[in-house]
């Protein structure tokens, strides 16, 4: 679960466009995944979760897709707004009581 580097990958999108943020996980035993949003100076905020027996889950303006074959998770944000600008983390639970492993994050920059 070690993270990489000091510089977060950045995704820049235009307001109103759809955003797709990707996350690769390493452990095939992972059975629960969460996406978090972290605004500057704040703690992570829960967005949406998905269990390994599902491929897709939708929330309000957000969709999470899980591809277990290639161990890949994505977060889709529809009609991205300036308030969506933040760092987004995926977290995986490897079946061991609430021990989550976090990715290093992607910074979403929404241009007005």
Partner 1 sequence: NAGVTQTPKFQVLKTGQSMTLQCAQDMNHNSMYWYRQDPGMGLRLIYYSASEGTTDKGEVPNGYNVSRLNKREFSLRLESAAPSQTSVYFCASSEVGGANQPQHFGDGTRLSIL
Binds partner 1 (CB under 8 A): choice among 25, 64, 85, 105? 105
Q: Which of 21, 16, 55 is nearest to 37 (CA)?
A: 21
What is the Cα–Cα distance from 103 to 112, expressed in whole angstroms?
28
Size of the site for partner 1 (CB under 8 A): 30
| Token pair for 49 | 């979760």
Find the binder of partner 1 among 19, 44, 75, 88 (CB under 8 A).
44
Q: State how far the alpha carbon of 101 is from the alpha carbons of 38, 40, 56, 63, 72, in Å.
A: 16, 21, 21, 21, 14
16: contact with partner 1 by CB under 8 A: no
Does 54 engage in binding with partner 1 (CB under 8 A)? no
What is the binding site for partner 1 (CB under 8 A)?
1, 3, 5-8, 31-32, 34, 36, 41-46, 49, 51, 89, 91, 93, 97-105
């Amino acid at each position: 679960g070690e993270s990489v580097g000091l510089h977060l990958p950045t995704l820049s999108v235009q307001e109103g466009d759809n955003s797709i943020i990707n996350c690769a996980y390493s452990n095939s035993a992972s059975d629960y995944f969460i996406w978090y949003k972290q605004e500057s100076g704040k703690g992570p905020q829960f967005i949406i979760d998905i269990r390994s027996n599902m491929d897709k889950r939708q929330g309000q303006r957000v969709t999470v897709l899980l591809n277990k074959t290639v161990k890949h998770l994505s977060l889709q944000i529809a009609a991205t707004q300036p308030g969506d600008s933040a760092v987004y983390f995926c977290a995986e639970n490897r079946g061991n009581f609430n021990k989550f492993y976090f990715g290093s994050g992607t910074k979403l920059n929404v241009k007005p």
